[in-house]
Chain A
Amino acid sequence: MTGFPRARTSVVGAATFGLGECPGYNALEMTAQAGYRALDDAGIGLEEVDGLFVALPDDYLGGLAVAEYLGIQPKITDNNRTGGSSFLCHAIHAALALDAGLIDVALITYGSNQRTASGGLVSALKSSVYETPHSPMIPVGGYALAASRHMHDYGTTREDLAQVALSARAWANFNPEAFRQGDMTLDDVLGARMISSPLTARDCCLVTDGAAAVVMTRADRARDTRAPIPLLGGAQTVTHKEIASMPDLTVTGAAITGPQAMAQAGITPADVDCVQLYDAFTINTILFLEDLGFCPKGEGGRFVSSGAIAPGGALPTNTNGGGLSCCHPGMYGLFTMVEAVRQLRGEAGTRQLASPEIAVSHGNGGVLSSQATLVFGTPATV
């Protein structure tokens, strides 16, 4: 008994809007526009949406604002905020509510205009009285501390970290939506401005605008839609909030959620054709690939340096270019879901993989604090 309604719900619509720079739109409008587009993609009318799942960057009560903007009165409004993993948690909750018959159509949507509005990362993280006196530049400082420990324990190098950024850029060069494109070299990463050692500016995600949305329904309703992608498993956890309380700096909650979601889906890491994960910083990719079971603990640096995650590699990872080169509007998690769906539908353009059947989407929130893993499959995997 895994407790998760395997394949009993599907993503039936997915969309993005305003990736990169989106002047002239506020975050609420971007959120709504992504939602409209995802519903259009699904062929489902707004009037059918009775479950609304929202985490806006600048509005604590964003669930209310989006309901009003759309002009709907949802039966369930979920404003759960676990940072960038929020939307994967939303998908898990949506699957449960759909399966229980509480709702029929769930809309998960997000938008942020942080780049054009503020020019910097809009972070919901607030330091405690214990962190504040040290101004440790959270979030980057937290990830840098974890990276330092991984390097110390496992011999991971700055070059290994840089390979994550280079792989992301190589994928971004196939994605017309990606904000950063063009050649990037190892020296470009290593020689970039040091932000918080060992992480340079090129080890850090972009600061962009962007919006994304997905629509979910039960399998019966999904059958009537253009290209349903069943949700096979989903698991989430929280291990801490501030980095000092992380139980082990080199092991994230993905070591819990990955195996759990894959067990629900009835798969193992060897069955996974692509991984879309939250690469806020280059160390994330290394930690999550280890914790999700794609390589042994401690081997993540050498794994990414082998070329495994880059175009042509055995485990295509962040095929849209990720938060490092595609977009990072502040809470990136929903984009991992959209890219997983696009790959499984065969709609990924020149970066399309050859007939992928299983995609893992993994979200992260806070400073490696919240982790959430989803497993999607093609209808053939059900």
Chain B
Amino acid sequence: MSDTGAEARYLAYLSDGRFMLQRDPISGEAIFPPRLRRPGGGPALDDWAEMSGRGTVHAVTVQQKRDAAARAIVLVDLEEGGRMLSQVTGTQAEAVTIGMAVQARVVADADLPHVLFEPAGDGA
């Protein structure tokens, strides 16, 4: 991959359908959002790793704009570390609860590639 900033690299991975984040060289936890160096002090973040996509809903708010379906806006704690804002789709927005197990789905073909979540297998 060409030399870019961390944000461009993250988005480029997503464009290829890959959910990749940097790992903290000290704690081993994934870091979100991507950065050039470890937040708070430390080395450069060179270790990009593929995420399993498994996560847990940490907080949820349901929003319904006029003439549109209700959406569940969530913060998801990723299994490998890192917390990101996203949406849970594939279920009723009101059914999304804190603690729910979710699975990531990469939306590669978008103006801004991004990650959505759906209820994980058996929990759904």
Contacts of A197 in B (CB 8 A): 61-63
Of the stretches B22-30, B44-52, B78-86, the one at the interface is: B78-86
The yes or no answer to B87 lying at the interface (CB within 8 A) is yes
The yes or no answer to A72 lying at the interface (CB within 8 A) is no
A132, A145, A244: the one contacting B60 at CB < 8 Å is A145
Instruction: Tell me how far the C-beta of A373 lies from the nearest C-beta in chain B, rounded to whole angstroms.
Output: 23
Q: Is the CB of A145 within 8 A of B61?
A: yes
Instruction: Tell me how far the C-beta of A68 lies from the nearest C-beta in chain B, rounded to whole angstroms.
Output: 37
From A129, A131, A134, A245, name the one whose CB has the most chain B CB atoms within 10 angstroms: A134
Q: Is the CB of B98 within 8 A of A148?
A: yes
The yes or no answer to B13 lying at the interface (CB within 8 A) is no
Q: Size band of the A side of the interface? A: 20 to 34
B33, B59, B110: the one contacting A249 at CB < 8 Å is B59
- Tally of contacts, chain A with chain B, CB under 8 A: 76
The yes or no answer to B105 lying at the interface (CB within 8 A) is no
Contacts of B98 in A (CB 8 A): 148-149, 152
**Number of interface residues, chain B, beta carbon within 8 A:** 25
Contacts of A147 in B (CB 8 A): 61
Instruction: Tell me how far the C-beta of A44 lies from the nearest C-beta in chain B, rounded to whole angstroms.
Output: 44
Known A146-B59, A244-B32; contact A134-B64, beta-carbon cutoff 8 A: no
The yes or no answer to B54 lying at the interface (CB within 8 A) is no
The yes or no answer to B38 lying at the interface (CB within 8 A) is no
Instruction: Tell me how far the C-beta of B28 lies from the nearest C-beta in chain A, rounded to whole angstroms.
Output: 19
Instruction: Tell me how far the C-beta of B30 lies from the nearest C-beta in chain A, rounded to whole angstroms.
Output: 13
Chain B stretch 91-114: residues in CB contact (< 8 A) with chain A: 98, 107, 110-112, 114
The yes or no answer to A196 lying at the interface (CB within 8 A) is yes
Known A145-B73, A149-B98, A243-B75; contact A194-B64, beta-carbon cutoff 8 A: yes
What are 10 A-B residue pairs whose CB atoms fall within 8 Å in the complex? A129-B112, A130-B33, A132-B112, A133-B110, A133-B112, A134-B85, A196-B63, A244-B75, A245-B83, A249-B75
Q: Which 10 A-B pairs have the closest CB atoms?
A: A144-B61, A133-B114, A145-B59, A244-B85, A197-B62, A149-B59, A136-B73, A152-B98, A196-B61, A133-B112
